[in-house]
Structure formats: structure tokens, C-alpha cells
Chains A and B, each alone.
Chain A
Amino acid sequence: MPDYSLSYFYVLTFFVVGAVFVTVLLTIARLVAPKKITPEKLRTYESGEEPIGQAWARYPTHFYVFALLFVVFDVEVIFLFPWAVLFRALGGPGLVEMAVFIAILAVGLYYAWKKDALNWY
């Protein structure tokens, strides 16, 4: 029996059911709930002040720096998982290679640290 493809079919079903469930729930709410629209209600909430301009504006770049660091480390994790599963089979050479890999990343983290990229202002 193709067991694994079946498992992924399960996963797919969970995704579909999740989306359908939310849609149904929100549709019920839309049918049940009252709808009395006033211009005040449709105004963006800003603690009672008149909102000035939109919120879609420029925002600080340190979000970008952290996102970049995250991408580096998240890709690292993708490489770590298969190594961890086959740890015993790969043996000493695998361990040395992974140690070099982690060391390079640690140096990168140290560099970012010294470059003041890890401080949030």
C-alpha cells in the first residue's frame, strides 16, 4: 500500500477542512450578525482621533536586517535536520562537516553582533 502518499492525502484534507471550516463559520456569522453601517464605524481606529493618512508607509529597516538573518539561520536548520536523522550512519566525517558548517554560521552571527545588527532601537 502506498502509505506515505496516503499520509499526505490526510494532510491535504486537514488543510482543506481548515479553510472550509473558517469560511463556514464566518458565513454563519455574516448571516446571523446585524449590519448597520455608519461612516464612523468604517473609519480606521486610532484611539478616537481623526486618522491622518494611511498606515501603509515606510517602516524602519531593522525589520529587514532581522529577516535576512532569519533566512540564513532557517536554511541552516533545513540542512541540520537530515544530518541529525542520519547522524549515526554518517559518523565522524559527517560530524566534522557539520561542525565546520555551524562554526561558519557562528562566525557570521559574531560578525552581525559586532556590526551592531542585533540591536533593536
Chain B
Amino acid sequence: MPVGPFGLDPLVWLPIRLLIAVGLALFLILNGALLQIYLERKIQAAMQDRIGPYHVGPFGLLQTFADAIKLIAKEDVRARLTDPYFFIAAPALVFTPMLASWAVLPFAHDVVGADLNIGLLYLTTLGSMTVLGIVIAGWASNNKYAIVGGLRSAGQLISYEVPQILALVSVVLVVGSLSMVDITRSQAGPLVNVLVLPFSFALYFISALAETNRTPFDLPEAESELVAGWLTEYSGMRWGTMLALSEYGEVTVVCSIMTTLWFGGWQGPGVDVAPLLGVLWFTLKVYAFVLIFMWIRATLPRMRIDQLMSFCWKGLIPLALLNILLVAVLLMAFPDTRIPVAIASWALLLGFVAGVPYVQRRRLATLRARARAGQVPAHAAKAG
């Protein structure tokens, strides 16, 4: 009879392991949200030459704890015109898929909830379920700001999902597996995927910013025009679950996907000797991305909705399709080496970085010339 870890019977060990996995995921989400809110406030403050939270606890460390307790003790207002069932169900609909995506994140060797053989497909599926919760929340609020915010959010999230998933396909082409553990294992050496496929990484990074509603793509919550977007009618802990827990949890999930697919996940010096060291490497890499997200938030202004949509459909999606074809053809032509793929991907990335400002400048010049000649652009005339 096989014996599980710690000399336990496998039948006893399995439910214990399951409980540990779920408990750990919840614990990490709660702590991650507390930590990331604190970090976000402190880092934004530092970038804007302020101090940030500093009253509660040493260096303001307990500020988010105080906020969380305040949120629980706050009155939960539900306006008269809202749809009762969907309004109450929406926080769970946003939170549950986010928690479920933690089941397949590989923290270290054997430290993973469930190593699904379709892990990546599972993650993309859950990623698109968040849209559902957001649209339902916006619609159920029966508030004009919320409904516009919810619909905009739907438009943005479903649009950016396409380049996001197309970027993942090129990694699957190179690795040949959808399992998160296999993808990490394939990057054992210093040759992590980002060196081979930098362009897919750039596509994924941009779409991930849009998918998690972070600046410069935080239009669904554009305060200056839509109050709080789809969250307008929410208050108290319902708001806390949706915004604080789910949004920061989602950011962590997206950053973990980037870490696993392009930066070798738990791989790092010393993991062969002590496998648990992988947790440290994984966490460090994930938080590096979280910090980059915060840096971007403090740096870039918000995009306009029409720019956002045309950037996705006219820029990212054709480029993602081209990227997939190019990677596939080069992998087929040179089955033994990844160098041609890497060269092509770096060339695409350089072309993208140089090309976007160039195209933008040319478009602006045309528009200005037309405006000077007294002509109205075609779409503006139609919009009337």
C-alpha cells in the first residue's frame, strides 16, 4: 500500500491537502490585498512626493487592517430600484472565479493545488468569467453610471481578452503543453521564455493591464466621468469584496501567469537543493510585476474609450495573429533551435515599440491637416 507524505494514508492525506490548498489560497488573497493596498498607497505617495498612510501602526502598516474592519462595520445600502438577487450575487460572481484560478498556480515544485493538464485554458476561462460578474453588477444596480460603466467594462474586457489569449498560444506552441507545471519545468535553464518570445510577453502585459482594469485602461471606473463605474451603488463589505479583494487578487493571478509563462515560475538558483526556495523566487517575481503595475498607474494618464478599442482591434489583434503564424512557421522550419523564433520575436517587439508612436504621429498629422482644411473626420461627422 502506498504511503503519502508524513507517513499518512493517502486517503487521509488527500482531504487534508485539499483543505491546506484552499485555506492557503484564501489566506494569500486576503494578505495580498492588504499588502498590495498598502504598497500601492505608499508607492503612489512616494512618486507624488507625499507621505501616504502613516498614522495607524508603524509606518502606517496597520492602515489597511483598520480600513477592512471599518468596511465590515459599515452599513450596506441597497437602493430601492436595484435588482435584489443579482445585486447580492454579483460580489460572489466576481470573487469565486478569482479564487478558483489560484487552484492551478504553481508556487514551487509540488506546491500547487491541482496540476490540471489544461491549466492555461482553465485560467483563461476563469479570467473571462469576471466580466460576467461586472456586467451583472452594473446592470443590477439600475444606476445610469453603473450601467454605462458595466457595459464599457464588458466591451473593454472582451476585446482585450482576444490578444491576451492569442499571446498565450505562442507560448503553448513553444512549450507544447497547457499545464502550468510543465511550462515551468520547461524553463529550467537561464533561457526563460521571455528571451524567446518577448513580443508575446509585451502583448500579454498590455492586455493584462486592460483585463485587470488598471491604468491606463481603467475606463470602467473612470472617476472623472462615471463616479465609480459599475461599483457606484455598492458600499460596505460588498464593495470591499468586489474591489479590494477581487481586483487585487486578479492582479496577482495575472502577474503569476506572466511569471510562470515567461519568467520561469519557481525556477531560480538553489531550487534543486531546496524545492521550497521556489516559493520565494515565485513570490519575488510576482511582486516585481505587481510593483510595475503600480508604477504604470502612477505614470500614465487614462486612455479614451475609442482609442482603447481601436488600439486593441486594429493594433494588438492583427499583430497577435501575425505573431502566432510567425512563431509556428519558424518552429516548423527549424525544429531543433529556438534562435530564429527569438530573433523574429525581438524584431517584432522593436518594430512595435518604434512603430506605434510613428503611426500615431502620422494619424494625428492627417487629422490636423483635415481640421485645418475645414473638413470633419468621417466618423466624427457620423457621430454628429
Contact A63 B151 (CB under 8 A): yes
Q: Which residue of A lies closest to B304 (CB)?
A: A120
CB distance from A20 to the nearest CB of B (A): 9
Which among B141, B169, B321 is the interface contact of A84 at CB below 8 angstroms? B169
Residues of B close to A63: CB separation below 8 A: 151, 154-155
CB distance from B285 to the nearest CB of A (A): 23
Given A56-B142, A84-B172, A106-B318, 10 other A-B residues pairs in contact with their CB atoms under 8 A: A7-B116, A15-B100, A26-B88, A29-B76, A33-B236, A74-B158, A99-B328, A106-B321, A119-B306, A120-B155
Which chain B residues (1-57) contact chain A, with CB distance < 8 Å? 10, 14, 18, 21-22, 25-26
Contact A84 B238 (CB under 8 A): no
Q: Which residue of A lies closest to B96 (CB)?
A: A18
- Interface positions of A (Cβ within 8 A of B): 1, 4, 6-11, 13-15, 17-19, 21-23, 25-26, 28-30, 32-36, 41-47, 51, 54-56, 59, 63, 66-67, 69-70, 73-74, 77, 80-81, 84-85, 87-88, 91-92, 95, 98-99, 102, 105-106, 109, 113, 116, 118-121
16 contacts between A and B (CB under 8 A): A1-B10, A14-B113, A18-B95, A25-B72, A32-B73, A33-B236, A42-B78, A42-B79, A45-B233, A55-B147, A63-B154, A63-B155, A74-B161, A85-B172, A85-B178, A118-B309
Bound form: Cα–Cα A73–B154 in Å: 15
B310 CB–A CB distance under 8 Å = yes
B122 CB–A CB distance under 8 Å = yes
Q: Which residue of A lies closest to B307 (CB)?
A: A120
Which among B99, B142, B177 is the interface contact of A44 at CB below 8 angstroms? B142
The stretch among B58-66, B269-277, B329-337 that forms the contact with chain A is: B329-337
Bound form: Cα–Cα A74–B77 in Å: 37
CB distance from B289 to the nearest CB of A (A): 23
CB distance from A46 to the nearest CB of B (A): 7
Which among A25, A36, A54 is the interface contact of B81 at CB below 8 angstroms? A54
Interface size of B by CB at 8 A reads: 91
Bound form: Cα–Cα A120–B308 in Å: 9
Residues of A close to B372: CB separation below 8 A: none
Bound form: Cα–Cα A25–B69 in Å: 12
Q: SS class of chain B's interface: helix, strand, loop or mixed?
A: helix
Bound form: Cα–Cα A97–B161 in Å: 24
B302 CB–A CB distance under 8 Å = no
Q: Which residue of A lies closest to B378 (CB)?
A: A116
Bound form: Cα–Cα A36–B369 in Å: 60
Contact A77 B379 (CB under 8 A): no
Contact A45 B99 (CB under 8 A): no
CB distance from A59 to the nearest CB of B (A): 6
Which chain B residues (91-133) contact chain A, with CB distance < 8 Å? 91-92, 95-100, 102-103, 113-117, 120-122, 124, 128
Bound form: Cα–Cα A109–B141 in Å: 35
Contact B18 A33 (CB under 8 A): no
Contact A70 B72 (CB under 8 A): no
Contact A32 B176 (CB under 8 A): no
